[in-house]
A = this chain, B = another copy of it.
Amino acid sequence: MERRRGAELEAVLLDAAWAELMESGYAQLTMEAVAARAQTGKQVLYRRWRNRAELVIASMRHHAGSIVENVPDTGSLRGDVLGVLQQMADRFTQLGPDTIHGLMAEAPDLDPEVYSRMTGVMAAIVKRAAERGEIATADVPVVVLTAPTNLMRHEIFFSHSPVPSSTITALVDDVFLPLVGFSRGT
């Protein structure tokens, strides 16, 4: 019997978890099923992750790398923000709301990271826009800086269907751009 070990095995486990997640959703995902799919025992899972939530989070990271490390750079403030929001939408509609809610409920210590990371992304985008002269200053209140991504996240959490692109453009054109003193068109 070929016996998998170390990183190789771990990859198989994470892939199995991801497959189960896509097929059954978070609520239906069981450790037994993941182990069975990976053709191994539960203990192999529990040796690496303390519970279902940790396994799933690890499998998400493994599958898609860490969230937005490729900050969009379209040359315009509007394009950049649209890009960020679109990325968020794509990523989370793939997961589906039940996975998101399930993880929130079972892994309360997950969010701070994802949460604060976006603030940095937005800050970078705004800084560039200020340097280009699109807006007067990069000195924007945090609450404004995080408004679009937070509203986007809110949309993702509450809408039980994919977020339409019209909502995304509305968030940018009717909320964010006015707040940073960017007059569109005119």
A contacts, CB < 8 Å to B: 27, 97-98, 101-102, 104-105, 108, 111, 115, 141-144, 147, 150-151, 153-155, 157-158, 160, 167, 170-171, 174-175, 178-179
Q: How many copies does the complex hold?
A: 2
Q: Which residues of B contact A179 (CB under 8 A)?
A: 174-175, 178-179
Chain B residue, CB-CB nearest to A142:
B170
Give the shortest distance, in Å, between A144 (CB) and chain B (any CB): 6
| 10 nearest A-B residue pairs (beta carbon) | A101-B105, A143-B170, A105-B105, A101-B104, A154-B154, A141-B174, A150-B154, A102-B105, A143-B174, A111-B158
Residue of A111, A141, A154 with highest tally of chain B CB at under 10 A: A154
| A63: min CB distance to chain B, Å | 21
In the complex, the answer to whether A174 meets B144 with C-beta atoms within 8 Å is: yes
Residues of chain B within 8 A (CB-CB) of A157 are 104, 154, 157
Task: Assess the B167–A143 pair: CB atoms within 8 A.
Answer: yes
Contact of A115 with B158 in the complex, beta carbons under 8 Å: yes
When distances are taken between beta carbons in the complex, the residues of chain B under 8 Å from A154 are 150-151, 153-154, 157
Closest to A109 in B: B160
B residues near A147, Cβ cutoff 8 Å: 147, 151, 175
Chain B nearest CB from A99 CB (Å) reads: 9
The listed residue with most B CB atoms (<10 A of its CB), out of A141, A155, A175, is A175
| Given A97-B108, A101-B105, A157-B104: A178 touches B178 (CB 8 Å cut-off) | yes
Task: List the B residue with the shortest CB-CB distance to A115.
Answer: B158
Which residues from chain B contact A97 at a C-beta distance below 8 Å?
108
Q: In whole angstroms, what is the CA distance A178 to B108 when docked? A: 34
Interface centre among A27, A102, A104, A115 (most CB of B within 10 A): A104
Sample 21 A-B pairs with CB under 8 A, ordered by A number. A27-B105, A97-B108, A101-B104, A101-B105, A101-B108, A102-B105, A104-B105, A104-B157, A115-B158, A141-B170, A141-B174, A142-B170, A143-B171, A147-B147, A150-B151, A151-B151, A153-B154, A153-B158, A154-B154, A154-B157, A179-B179
